[in-house]
């Protein structure tokens, strides 16, 4: 049975998808086989976006699942500490909470090693694991591409996208979030990405992800193709080079990157996502939204962790002000 509706609860951001524990090396520039110490942090793209939005004052929840193990208990406790609503963090009694390792070779090489076999609990999310009525009335819902990689998560994500599209509800964001190693069948990734894009209002991806989804890594071409599929706003993240956005009205915005030192770039896109949620819900002009999101991403790239590193509004505004005359 689905969780009963709470008529008094009003969320602003709901994300659905990955959760896990990041075990990141405390030594930079060292191959994983030679690392001797690690830091433990909360991770997973959808989880990071929810934390980032909560850090900026938004009422956020994540729909996900952990294993019945110490890492699962840690993940849920960390979410609560960060102010993210956890009623829809389910527990799978058969599968273990995923862990992720990375290597750190700044400025742009951060290989990831996922432990999500035989399957991650967050890929077993079904429509019975949350309250669809509440999801429908929430102003912004964030879905991710990895959630399309296997069933039943695939059908669940697509149903959310289709129902919100049919009812023309708020912001429905699809993060293409393409991780080839997490797809059992890579030939399914492109068609499913395009199906999700067709039912989203906002689509976000980096150049590799838009290449997979719409066949071009050129930001302008890719954004136009995303809009042609049905989205209203397309955003292409360009890493240290900033970001590009194109709206259905024809307005385009490009922002340059912030020259902060890069420590670990893995959480930057999720910080960008949380700040994007905040900007969209605030009703800001597109250029302000994109600048704010880009600054958030740069801040997290200058730190080691993902969820734990998400910036406050004051930190984002400070970076924007600091670099206003040098960008």
pLDDT at 301 over 90: yes
Full domain range(s) for residue 271:
13-19+45-89+118-322
Rounded to a whole number of angstroms, the distance between the first and last alpha carbons of the chain is 53
Q: How many domains in the chain?
A: 1
Task: Dihedral sign for Cα 307, 308, 309, 311, please.
Answer: positive
Q: Over range 242-258, report the average pLDDT.
A: 97
**pLDDT given for residue 169 in this prediction:** 87
CB 75, CB 84: distance < 8 Å: no
Q: Is residue 5 part of a domain?
A: no
Sorted by sequence, the CB contacts under 8 Å of residue 228 that are 6+ apart come out as none
Instruction: Please tell me the number of Cα atoms within 13 Å of 246 on its side-chain side.
Output: 17
Half-sphere exposure of 277 (CA within 13 A, CB side): 35
Confidence of residue 13 (pLDDT cuts 50, 70, 90): very high
Q: Convert the pLDDT of each residue in 188-228 to its tens digit.
A: 999 999 999 999 999 999 999 999 999 999 999 999 999 99
DSSP string of 226-287?
HHHHT-SEEEEE-GGG-EEEEETTS-EEEEPPP-PPPS-GGGHHHHHHHHHHHHHHHT--HH
On whether residue 39 sits in a domain, the answer given is no
Is residue 234 assigned to a domain? yes
298 is a domain residue: yes
Torsions phi, psi of 153, nearest 5? Answer: -55, -40
Residue 95 in any domain: the answer is: no
Residue 146 dihedral angles phi and psi, to the nearest 5° = -60, -30
d(CA 207, CA 222): 9
Dist. CA 213–CA 226, nearest whole Å: 9
316 is a domain residue? yes
Task: Output the average pLDDT for the chain.
Answer: 95
**Per-residue confidence band for 326, with pLDDT thresholds at 50, 70 and 90:** low
Assess if residue 310 is contained within a domain. Answer: yes
Residue 96 forms part of a structural domain: no
Closest CA to 18 of 131, 171, 175, 160: 175
Nearest by Cα to 220 from 204, 240, 244, 201? 244
22 beta partners: 41, 100
Question: Tell me, what CATH number does 220's domain have?
Answer: 3.40.1190.20
User: Is 90 exceeded by the pLDDT of residue 3?
Assistant: no
């Amino acid at each position: 049975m689905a969780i009963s509706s709470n008529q008094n609860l009003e969320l602003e951001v709901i994300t659905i998808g990955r959760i896990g524990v990041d075990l990141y090396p405390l030594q930079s520039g060292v191959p994983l086989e030679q690392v001797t110490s690690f830091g433990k942090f909360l991770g997973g793209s959808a989880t990071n976006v929810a934390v980032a939005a909560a850090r900026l004052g938004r009422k956020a929840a994540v729909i996900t699942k952990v294993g019945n193990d110490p890492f699962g208990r840690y993940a849920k406790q960390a979410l609560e500490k960060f102010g993210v609503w956890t009623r829809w963090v389910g527990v799978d009694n058969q599968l273990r909470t995923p862990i992720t390792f990375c290597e750190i070779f700044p400025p742009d090489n951060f290989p990831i090693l996922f432990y999500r076999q035989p399957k991650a609990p967050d890929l077993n999310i079904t429509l019975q694991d949350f309250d669809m009525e509440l999801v429908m009335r929430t102003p912004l819902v964030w879905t991710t591409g990895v959630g399309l990689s296997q069933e039943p998560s695939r059908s669940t994500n697509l149903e959310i996208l289709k129902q919100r599209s049919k009812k023309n509800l708020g912001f429905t964001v699809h993060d293409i979030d393409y991780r080839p190693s997490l797809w059992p069948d890579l030939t399914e990734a492109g068609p499913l990405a395009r199906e999700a894009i067709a039912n989203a209002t906002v689509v976000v991806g980096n150049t590799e992800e838009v290449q997979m989804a719409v066949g071009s890594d050129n930001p302008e071409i890719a954004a136009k193709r995303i809009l042609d599929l049905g989205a209203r706003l397309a955003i292409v993240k360009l890493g240290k080079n900033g970001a590009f956005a194109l709206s259905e009205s024809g307005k385009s915005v490009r922002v340059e990157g912030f020259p902060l030192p890069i420590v670990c770039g893995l959480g930057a896109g999720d910080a960008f996502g949380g700040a994007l949620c905040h900007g969209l819900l605030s009703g800001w002009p597109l250029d302000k939204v994109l600048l704010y999101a880009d600054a958030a991403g740069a801040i997290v790239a200058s730190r080691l962790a993902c969820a734990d590193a998400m910036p406050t509004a004051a930190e984002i505004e400070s970076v924007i002000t600091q670099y206003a005359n040098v960008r």
